[in-house]
Structure 1
Amino acid sequence: MNILFNLQYATVFGETLQLNVVDRNGAKAQTYGMNMTADKTWTCQMAVDTSVTHIDYYFSVDRGGQEERHEWTTITHRLELNGKKTDTYLVSNRWQDIPGDSYLYSSAFTDCVNRRNHSRMKASAYAKTLRLVVRAPQLRGGCQLAVVGEDKALGQWIADKAVRMVEHNHNEWVADLNLRDFANAGTTEFKFVAWTDKGDLLWETGANRRLELPMADNGQMVVRELDQAFFEIYNERLAGTLIPVFSLRTRGSFGVGDFGDLKRMVDWVAETEQRVLQVLPINDTTSTHTWTDSYPYSAISIFALHPQFVDLRQLPPIADKKKAAEMEALRKKLNALSQIDYEQVNNAKTEYLRIIFKQEGEAVMKTTHFRKFMAENEHWLVPYAQYCHLRDTLGTVDFSQWKGHEQWHEADRGALRNPRTEEYREVAFYYYVQYVLHKQMQEAHEYAKARGVVLKGDIPIGVNRCGCDVWHEPQYFNLNAQAGAPPDAFSVNGQNWGFPTYNWQRMIDDGCQWWIRRFQNMAKYFDAYRIDHVLGFFRIWAIPITCVHGLLGQFAPALGMSREEIEGYGLHFQEQLFTTPFIARWVVDRVFREHAQEVIDTYLDHQHDDIYALKPQYDTERKIEAAFKDKNSDVDIWIRDGLYALASDVLFVRDYNDPNKFHPRITAQLNFMYEALYDSDKEKFNRIYNDYYYRRNNNFWYNEAMKKLPVLVQATRMLVCAEDLGMVPDCVAWVMNELRILSLELQQMPKDPKLTFGDLARNPYRSVCTLSTHDMPTLRQWWDEDYNRTQDYYASKLYRGGAAPHPLPGWLAKEIVADQLSCPSMLCVLLLQDWMAIDEQLRLPDAGAERINIPANPHHYWRYRMHINIEDLLANTPYNNTIKDLITEAGRHLNNK
């Protein structure tokens, strides 16, 4: 069989086009060079075996052996080779850039919201064939596309005689027509029509399409890709709930939410006509086996699922009746707790899993399903299992102390993978647990899709520096810095997450394979995801390893400033003064008051005049932290925090990579050194500061993000959402718009700095609207935090007179929720606590107990749980009907077709 591809595309001198055939996994399998004809049409011919049923491919532009750009690869071109009498395919393609409605091609819409069955094209027996190919992403679930036109072969404009098309790929429809059936040669007019699942007929908008009927010889099929079909169907807007899996509660839970509970929560979401269920990260965070592992954003593996989420009800019962009874009694005790007892729950579940593994593990691990799981996940699963074994037997995750195993050895894989070896038997338990978790989570995912619910996951920006990922593939990480975030509304000292920063150049050099594997693994369980701290793909806040807080960080990468550039603003650059902590006597007196002399005597060295310096044993935040370990009196904390403030009191931070470059210290205007400047120098520093943080790096950071994010967002068909809060440079919006990534919109944190509260009506459609995130106070907590701010909101956004009521009454919470639902955002996803705020009988009596996380506290215990069972929530018909009414009134209901 011969195929001739044609593509009209204007290139510039030095550029050539290539056709790239992809395999079933979407990876490039073969590349063909193309030639240009006189009319700027690029052509390529290939011969294929008659056993080939279809070809998936995309086009790219090459310059000097390097790919300059390529088409949108999430949905590639597909050519069905189904012609019984066809020996030559003449294909006319269109270049496909990422479309504005790319979200409609995501699995969130194609597999959950607008589910339709795809089918392969039936064999075509025409001697001369015309194939029409068109994309129609607007169509809802159950719709059927057809083509109708003036020619008898197209039904002569009679809809019932229209030619039905086949959806052979996501949102792409095809129809094979017999060229001999057309009455006349030349040009014919036609349109696309669609029937809804209710039997309504929709006609394509705009003027009739015109098609020049091709000339063809016997044995030829002419394939024409056409412009996208458009119908008068308005954009879908969906409602949803955010709750961590660990926070779920059912009558059968084991003290923590699990993957079985996730199905029950899907039931409630579907029952209330919501379409999205968002969760926090579900990866394994077990490093110390203590409650400090409760932080879900510090995974030890980007692939492994957390054992705490196993649904023990789906496992065989414990054969030992006495032990089974003990476990059931413990389950009831733990499940009755108002919050999670992380350590007891995980110890009990691990014990339970080891019992079942001893009972059933050997038989399970001989099954075809398990072997398939091992084969598909071997790359990460084998190192992870050995890591867990070494962690548990050696009692530490500090792999620098694992003699002989300070780093993963690829040579160990064979023995760890061979069921006949002792090494395999040592780690088999971890294989088994991950298999069980994978199976349960995948089943929950399939269950959600069947109910039309989009499961939305979360991809943390960082990983645990002592985790398996760093141990397994250290080339991707920089351990000489800590990732975090600059100061913001959540934390005045910035956030130090302790994660290693990424070696982005190494990742980019191998096509970001580490990230692609990560995203593709997520796609097994989710149809949408939130990119945690998307700003980290532009630049990360890198903090020296000697720091506890984030004030001495700098953006990496970033364009540091030379001495000459700084002086170009008129500021005389005194390097030693501006980069060394400024500790004057008046500063010490102000910070430490009656303890000033004690601090001078104990922690400071006199330099000259009234200037001091921290003694060498206290000259970094880590040294200060160590000196005050186990000192918890109010005075000790006062002095410790004061010393932290002194250590970070600089005007410029030296670049970590180039000692001749400098960065203005973040929020330096709050420093004592800044206070000591002349007013004229303050004005000059402010210009440097504003130029550096808001203008200087914009194009640089744009280019950095575009080296990474396009590859990642096209690696799967999950709907891409991003958390774009914080110190957001202009280039973030450029990239997110270009890649069609959904932004996060919070009315109380508007992106326009001139506004106190955002205007919901101005939310972009391509966005996620919410009242509060897991890092923020819930609606009820926020309402009582700042009475003046609440009063402003009450008057300016709710348009109500008089004093705002406190605490927040249910009727007013309902009005606030209704406003959020009515905004233009594609998704409105609210915390479960905020949904419950509308019902004073249902919601938790203590609003203070609703908080999930407090970012300013690095040692926060993540233990929030629902205070009622999901079974009781499902049975609460009046409350569920209230939510349905709110969603229906906002136009986000299920039957919005």
Structure 2
Amino acid sequence: MKIVFRLNFHTVPGQSLWLKLATTLKETGVRFEQVLPLHWINAQQWEVDLDVEGGGAMELEYSYQFREESNGVELEEWNGPRHAAADPASQDALLLLDTWCSAGTVDYAFETKAFQAVMPARGPFMKPVVSSEANHTFQLRMAAVPEGLVPCLLGSVSEIGDWGWHHALPLLEVEANVWQTSAYLPADWWIEYKYGMYDAKLGCVVSLEAGENRTLASRQRGERQWTMVRDECYRRDSNGLYRAAGVAIPVFSLRSDKGLGVGEFADLKELADWASGIGMKLIQILPINDTTSSHDWTDSYPYSAISVFALHPLYLRIEDMGHAMPASFHEELDSSREWLNTMEHLDYEEVMKAKAKLTREVFTKHQKAIVSGDGFQKFLAENREWVVPYAVFCVKRDHYGTADFSKWGEWSAYSCGVVDAMAEASHPECAEVFYHIWLQYELDKQLADAVDHLHQCGLALKGDLPIGIDRQSVDAWAAPHLFKMDSQAGAPPDAFAVKGQNWGFPTYNWEIMREDGYAWWRSRFAQLSRYFDAYRIDHILGFFRIWQVPYEQVEGIMGWFDPALPVHIDEIRNRGIQFDFNRHCRPYIREHFLWERFGETTEEVKAQYLDACGYGYYQLREHVSNQRRIVEHFATWNTDDLLVNERAERMKHGLLDCASDVLFLEVPGSLGTLFHPRCSLHMTRSFQELDHDAKWRVDDLYVDYFYRRQENFWQARGYEKLPVMRRASSMLLCGEDLGMVPACVPGVLKELGILSLEIQRMPKASDTQFANLAHAPYMSVVSPSTHDMPTLRGWWHEDPHVTGNFAWQMLGLAFPKMNLSGEIAATILLQHLQSPAMWTIFPLQDLLAIDEELRNPDIDAERINVPAIMPYYWRYRMHLGMEELSAAEEFNGKIERILRATGRALRG
């Protein structure tokens, strides 16, 4: 018997395809596994033939693998192994005609949790009925089939309808989103066919798939032959693809009469009622993990979690905890609510103090009943692995007065047994541990309840996955080997932060994480999927490479990409650069520009911080030899004297500029042989004072390093990690791929079915000022702004020259007014809604911009974050309550009409 595996997949030289096959003999159960190379037939097809002699009936389990020779990428096809049955006793040949299963196929996006709330489930599935005369099986994968219709098969021979719309073969759904039918077709005929949509009530085809006809060439391999045709997806008309809209707002920004000075999980239910009422299908929020580190306003930063599993107590609604309390408790609660809800912004410290006091009163009064309760015990049993270490971390943080576990004495080194013992009833500190576990139990219940309400409203919830963890977190304490604690994650310089960004997070030790199949990440995604249907991967570029800043430096500009291919000293010299370590790698400090950098403090700086090296050159003294030492030195200068403080700031920033005035950064441990060019080195004095030839050669090396040499290497790193993240849950993945984007990134995201983010004022193309949203890919999210940017109104009045260009180029308007009018805001929103993108998600502030009466009169008060300021106080709150928003009939009606007119206002 001959078994033929033929795969449709477009390749180029240097790429190959492989078959991973497991054969199980039905009679004995013996299983054989093998990996076989497929042979190239043409640019679109690969094939391998197997000759089977006897052996009885067998089950085949197989999948295909793609390999890229240039960078070692090995990519498994999506959706698990395929299955087929073969029997040499009754068959001469089995032809398996397959199409590569790509995670980027639209139907796999429709199978995610994000669409379960908006697309009705089908079933029960049908058992396939195969005619005794049939010799072909056709199988199609198709999700999101319109109600009342089924896929069908129609083709050029009478057995499949002879293109007659009343004679097509309807397909049966044999498992979720897998449709199948069988027919007899002569194996030596050329056949053309298509899939279509069949209406059983009308008894005919109502539409055909887009694109050219599919074909089956002559495929005769034996008298008793069976052909299985597996077509990966229905070729959908791009105009008929599912498109929807959503709203983005941090939970802490929600305002309601019931909230205690902050948005709470329970407020998501009111937001859902409003959003579904105007036809939206998604709510997007910022990270909601606990960030309590220093018990002050700096903990308001939602991307610096002390646990990637624990929820933030900030979002707890006290009265929904269900424990009877005396009248005095409720009086205190009402008094605190009345006071805190009058505030324009979130007062993080006061809200946290109020909630901590009130929850401790509840726990103290009901501790025994709480801890012995079935719900609490069940939650503890199911989440013990993370919730006990988290609770103990919180207890020790408060006991020692710091989250810096290196200062915890005997507790500085994590011990699993010692930590677990604290959650035993006999331990003297168990009450404190149980208090923090109870908060997580209550938060879990309240968030789950809110999510259930969203789903009942036909809405999906989209979360946000921070790229980093807090350096002083339970994750770093319990598993320091997973992180590079001597490094800091950040971002290279851009238009928003010319010195780059330093987020302070440790970077990941990917080599160690790979050893257990990225178990930490997989458990993290499993936890996210308890609540979310989709999520935004913050700084998804970090899965290709992360911007890494040595711990002894402070500004992001002193970092480099990790991993990356550094430049060897021999390559530098071979490029004609007269390499001099002192000139190119040490801070370039010259007499003639000291006054420009330090002004009237120049002589003080020379006397206290610089050593003269002769010929007008200087070097930094040891106590200010790197940026961290500089910052720590001047931290002691903070006084009540404004003039002294200003003088110190001038010196500090001047010295920081001196420390960063280098052309190359040495790779640690390379003994002066490997280097990274410093990002934005063209702005340094060191570069500007090179001769013309040296500038040209350094620039050529710089361009090669940042824009050419790393691409294949980074592509392989992305394919190594992101498929694991994609498979870890059934959530819809959306990448935040803004900034300095390697050329390899769009292709990887497309292949893996990860939606990109498209921002009109941050185009991906370098040769345009604004993105044309009409060209946005379908597998994307378009949005007018993000939390790291000014709102639409804030951006509009920020730079009249830029917005003037935008008004003319994108709207056809000349001389727009300084303040964004509601009419123009509505036009911009309409452009987003008319884009081809799957999702259009609007920050609430940008939606409100269309109503000049309803929107906040204070534009700056709507800003959520300014990345260039670190730390920043994340405290934006809606200026109107959810009750007022829901009652704003004119505004809501206008939004709904716009959504309906663009086909994005969908009912569940």
Q: Report the TM-score, using the length of structure 1 for normalisation.
A: 0.86
1:835 maps to 2:864: no
Aligned residue identity for 2:707: Y
Deviations 1:771-804 (A, max 9, x none): 1110011111111111111111122221112x22
Q: What is aligned with 2:729?
A: 716
CA distance 1:136–1:209, change in 2 (3 Å): farther
Aligned equivalents of 1:670 and 1:69: distance in 2?
40
Aligned residue identity for 2:743: D
Q: Return the offset for 1:626.
A: 1.8
Aligned equivalents of 2:371 and 2:154: distance in 1?
55
Aligned residue identity for 1:763: A
Q: What is aligned with 1:115?
A: 120
Match of 2:884 among 853, 857, 872: 872
Greater Cα shift, 228-237 or 243-252: 228-237
1:660 maps to 2:673: yes
Match of 2:345 among 336, 339, 350: 339
CA distance 1:185–1:779, change in 2 (3 Å): closer
Aligned equivalents of 1:224 and 1:366: distance in 2?
58
Aligned equivalents of 2:142 and 2:526: distance in 1?
26
Greater Cα shift, 692-701 or 421-430: 421-430
Match of 2:858 among 846, 858, 877: 846
Secondary structure of the structure 2 residue equivalent to 1:772: coil
Residues 525-540 of structure 1 aligned to structure 2 (within 5 Å): 525-540=531-546
Check the 8 A contact 1:141/1:197 in 2, yes or no. no
Q: What is aligned with 1:87?
A: none
1:649 maps to 2:661: yes
Aligned equivalents of 2:17 and 2:840: distance in 1?
47
Aligned residue identity for 1:665: R
Check the 8 A contact 2:63/2:81 in 1, yes or no. no
Q: What is aligned with 2:788?
A: 775
Match of 1:732 among 730, 738, 745: 745
Aligned residue identity for 2:48: K
Q: Return the offset for 1:814.
A: 1.3
Deviations 1:577-606 (A, max 9, x none): 111111111121111222211221222121
1:104 maps to 2:128: no
Aligned residue identity for 1:321: A
Q: Return the offset for 1:695.
A: 0.8
1:168 maps to 2:168: no
Q: What is aligned with 2:800?
A: 787
CA distance 1:677–1:442, change in 2 (3 Å): same
Check the 8 A contact 2:822/2:851 in 1, yes or no. yes
Q: Return the offset for 1:373.
A: 3.3
Residues 578-597 of structure 1 aligned to structure 2 (within 5 Å): 578-597=584-603
Check the 8 A contact 1:37/1:43 in 2, yes or no. no
Aligned residue identity for 2:730: R
Q: Report the TM-score, using the length of structure 2 for normalisation.
A: 0.85
1:825 maps to 2:830: no
1:470 maps to 2:476: yes
CA distance 1:832–1:841, change in 2 (3 Å): same
CA distance 1:261–1:761, change in 2 (3 Å): same
Match of 2:388 among 365, 382, 387: 382
Check the 8 A contact 1:385/1:431 in 2, yes or no. yes
Check the 8 A contact 1:118/1:167 in 2, yes or no. no
Q: Return the offset for 1:720.
A: 1.4
Aligned equivalents of 2:856 and 2:907: distance in 1?
32
CA distance 1:184–1:790, change in 2 (3 Å): closer
Match of 1:884 among 893, 896, 904: 896
Match of 2:362 among 351, 356, 359: 356
Aligned equivalents of 1:324 and 1:154: distance in 2?
73
Residues 219-368 of structure 1 aligned to structure 2 (within 5 Å): 225=230, 228-230=233-235, 232=237, 234-360=240-366, 362-366=368-372
Aligned residue identity for 1:168: E
Deviations 1:203-227 (A, max 9, x none): 443769999999xxxxxx9987555
Aligned residue identity for 2:109: L
Check the 8 A contact 1:138/1:230 in 2, yes or no. no
Secondary structure of the structure 2 residue equivalent to 1:588: helix
Aligned equivalents of 2:657 and 2:337: distance in 1?
47
Q: What is aligned with 1:26?
A: none
Q: What is aligned with 1:686?
A: 699
Aligned residue identity for 1:670: M
1:59 maps to 2:66: no
Aligned equivalents of 1:47 and 1:364: distance in 2?
62
Deviations 1:819-851 (A, max 9, x none): 222222222212111111110101001101110
Check the 8 A contact 2:261/2:346 in 1, yes or no. yes
Aligned residue identity for 1:875: A
Residues 393-404 of structure 1 aligned to structure 2 (within 5 Å): 393-404=399-410
Residues 499-518 of structure 1 aligned to structure 2 (within 5 Å): 499-518=505-524
CA distance 1:652–1:202, change in 2 (3 Å): same
Q: What is aligned with 1:406?
A: 412
Aligned equivalents of 1:117 and 1:364: distance in 2?
41
Check the 8 A contact 2:287/2:303 in 1, yes or no. yes
Aligned residue identity for 1:769: V
Match of 1:676 among 676, 679, 689: 689
Aligned residue identity for 2:757: L
Secondary structure of the structure 1 residue equivalent to 2:679: coil
CA distance 1:413–1:782, change in 2 (3 Å): same
Aligned equivalents of 1:396 and 1:817: distance in 2?
46
Q: Return the offset for 1:741.
A: 1.9
Provide structure 2 residue ranges, at least 5 long, that are not aligned to the other structure: 10-14, 25-30, 40-46, 86-93, 221-225
Check the 8 A contact 2:760/2:770 in 1, yes or no. yes
Check the 8 A contact 2:113/2:731 in 1, yes or no. yes
Residues 427-576 of structure 1 aligned to structure 2 (within 5 Å): 427-576=433-582
Deviations 1:155-178 (A, max 9, x none): 998979976734632x22357x8x
CA distance 1:375–1:617, change in 2 (3 Å): same
Q: Return the offset for 1:482.
A: 0.9
Check the 8 A contact 2:423/2:434 in 1, yes or no. no
Deviations 1:589-627 (A, max 9, x none): 111222211221222121112111222112221222122
CA distance 1:231–1:819, change in 2 (3 Å): closer
Q: Return the offset for 1:119.
A: 3.2
Secondary structure of the structure 1 residue equivalent to 2:290: coil
Aligned residue identity for 2:709: R
Secondary structure of the structure 2 residue equivalent to 1:607: strand
Aligned residue identity for 1:40: V
Match of 1:619 among 620, 625, 631: 625
Deviations 1:756-779 (A, max 9, x none): 222222222222211111001111
Aligned residue identity for 2:859: A
1:40 maps to 2:53: no
Aligned equivalents of 1:271 and 1:383: distance in 2?
42
1:707 maps to 2:720: yes
Check the 8 A contact 1:109/1:115 in 2, yes or no. no
Q: What is aligned with 2:905?
A: 893
Secondary structure of the structure 1 residue equivalent to 2:564: coil
Deviations 1:522-560 (A, max 9, x none): 122111111111111111111111112112111111111
Q: What is aligned with 2:826?
A: 814
Aligned equivalents of 1:364 and 1:196: distance in 2?
56
CA distance 1:506–1:354, change in 2 (3 Å): same
Aligned residue identity for 2:660: S
Q: Return the offset for 1:36.
A: 11
Secondary structure of the structure 2 residue equivalent to 1:684: helix
The sequence identity of aligned pairs, in percent, is 35
Q: Return the offset for 1:196.
A: 7.8
Match of 1:748 among 761, 780, 803: 761
Aligned equivalents of 1:136 and 1:731: distance in 2?
29
Residues 129-168 of structure 1 aligned to structure 2 (within 5 Å): 133-140=139-146, 144=150, 165-166=172-173, 168=175
Secondary structure of the structure 2 residue equivalent to 1:259: coil
